[in-house]
A and B are shown apart, each in its own frame.
Chain A
Amino acid sequence: MKMVKVFFAKNLKWFTILFFGLLAVLPFFMTSNYGMRMLTVCMLYVMMAFSLNLLTGFLGVMTIGHIAFMGIGAYTAAILVKNYHWETLPCYLAAILLSGFFGLLLSLAALKLQGYYMTILTLGFCEIVRLVEINWESLTRGALGISGISAPVFFGIRLSSRRSIYYLMLVLLILTLLLIWSIINSKAGNAIMAIREDELAARAMGIHVFKYKTIVFVLSAMIMGLAGAFYAQYMTYIDPGVFTVSASLNILIMAIFGGLGNLLGTIIGASVLTILPEMIRFLAEYRNLIYGILIIILMLVKPDGLLGSVNFKYIRQQASVQKENGGE
């Protein structure tokens, strides 16, 4: 078991590339529409769980209103596509910029606060954004939602087949992973994790806590915004009922279940928790009850999440130290 772990940790990069390679060729073997749809939705949730893992797992800032940014991104994209017939790329840019802007506003206020005060503030933000979405009827069509959002268009090419949408999602997911990967493996990443471990000590070491917190907060808001923009065109319909606090909590549960601070865990956690409710669909109206019970059991059995206690970097270091001392 330990050997496997060490081997896996050492070749994590190759495994990752292999994994995404498999995802890339999968559509050629998968014929069922349902399967393709599930995979796309899975990847969307993984992307959002990545965003929360960056914020909660690596920086240690807990928010329960992050889905508000997804809503902002989704509405931006939907309105631009539907009313102004924009192409997808500028739409995505607008969604990213707008959600980033609101992320900046919220972070300037929220990050000055400690712990729960900040968490509750994000909850309030999410509720207010949702109420604006419901009540600003001239722009968002209120509770009816916006329907008939057309499929993504890139440089005049319309991506309407399930397969092309799948690849679009895959590209977005890989870009997100690369972004987060490069952040946490840089000097900034060390600073961010130092802030998570002890904010005061990090400040004493000369780390500009507020700056890093703001940057990470805005980045994760932008990722959520992008995911929202994709969601709007993928579903072709959005309404404010999607962007609720409980939906936000669900994504947080995915990140925690996978293991905070572990990207591989997030992939597994978000996938399992997306597919699980589908698998217990036969329970019909008992589904949510069982889901709640499962969440409680999962938390009691594995409080750290699936891979929260596994640190691949540490395993690699330990293995190389053992190798050096191996001759004795």
Chain B
Amino acid sequence: MFLQQLINGLTLGSIYALIAIGYSLVFGVLQIVNFANGSIYMLGGFLTLVLYNKFRINFLLCFALALIINGFVGFCLDRFALRHLRQKKATKLVGLITTMGFATVIENFVMLFFSNATVPYPNKIDFGSFSIGSAVVSSTQVIIFLVVLVLLLLMSWVVYGTKVGKAMRAVSQNADAAKLMGIDVNGVIAMTFILSAVLAGISGTMVGMYYQMIDFTSGFSIGMKTMAAAVLGGVGSLPGAVTGGLIIGVVESLGASYISSAYRNAFAFAVLIIVILFLPNGLFGKEKVTKV
């Protein structure tokens, strides 16, 4: 029982980690929380399904196509809304409300044009299962775990090993100074949005296959939980986002099975509140020095 819940929790947590990285990246370069990320996650899952049902071609091809569209949506969010606000030097709060507006638009778009009910999702990575002791591990869980692991390694290579990543880190430290050094700040921000939207899209599709269903409201609660994961780990820190995601996934699974499944969503926030009270900057966050 415990081992089973731990495995389920880790699967869920690894997906949370993937989405939380998107939050952390965007927060790093822009210092705003992207509320639309949860909806973009849901959109990604839906796009794969809709394309697959429509054209009945290779699932992977539909998946790739969905990711491209998803990335484009992320790009539009920055290019046609947030960039204008940056130019106007609007407060961060306004950017936040704009992303919420996008979340509303995406959610209602999916509801109107795709489906307003829970729809079944084909599981294309189900190749049976095996057991470890008393716990049953399905191939879906293993594949999700492996995909997340590869993507995490890839992301850390992008952020810490490539020139784009260097530019991202420079922008997150000081956007003005980065601009003076010849870094295309707007380009880097756009790139970050595309990356985080693609990550969200991958997660959306994988969760769809894992639960074998999807509905248009699923983005909101996942969005809030992964936001909690990013904050738990320390906003802007990649290892933090991963750890936060895993912790929240495991706590949620264990809490739901041992305490009460009705309070499933509350456990994530309870852990967040407790951790933040003792570590005000999250697990891996750096303490900010305030200056007048």
Contact = CB atoms under 8 A, between A and B. Distances in A.
Interface of A: 56, 62, 109, 112-114, 116-117, 119-121, 123-125, 127-128, 131-132, 134-135, 198-201, 204, 245-246, 249, 252-253, 256, 260, 285-286, 288-289, 291-293, 295-296, 299-300, 303-304
14 contacts: A109-B273, A121-B273, A123-B224, A124-B270, A124-B272, A125-B273, A127-B265, A128-B266, A199-B290, A200-B291, A245-B224, A256-B94, A292-B103, A303-B88
Contact of B101 (A114, A119, A292): A292
A interface secondary structure, majority: helix
Given A117-B231, A256-B97, A289-B108, 8 more contacts: A120-B228, A125-B273, A286-B112, A291-B104, A295-B101, A299-B98, A299-B101, A300-B84
Contacts of A123: 224, 227-228, 269
B58 interface: no
A131 B263 contact: yes
B117 interface: no
B282 interface: yes
B108 A200 contact: no
Nearest to B85: A303
A117 B269 contact: no
A288 B260 contact: no
B93 A300 contact: no
Contacts of B103: 292
B288 interface: yes
Contacts, number: 123
Interface string B10-52: 0000000000000000010000010000000000000000000
Given A117-B231, A200-B290, A303-B91, A295 B269 contact: no
Interface residues of B, number: 48
Contact of A303 (B90, B107, B270): B90
A135 B260 contact: yes
B112 A134 contact: no
B292 interface: yes
A109 B269 CA distance: 14
A172 B277 CA distance: 36
A252 B97 contact: yes
Contact of B270 (A117, A128, A260, A285): A128
Contact of B108 (A135, A292, A304): A292
Given A204-B292, A256-B97, A295-B100, A134 B262 contact: yes
Contacts of A252: 97
Nearest to A244: B220
B220 A256 contact: no
Contacts of B98: 295-296, 299-300
Nearest to A299: B98
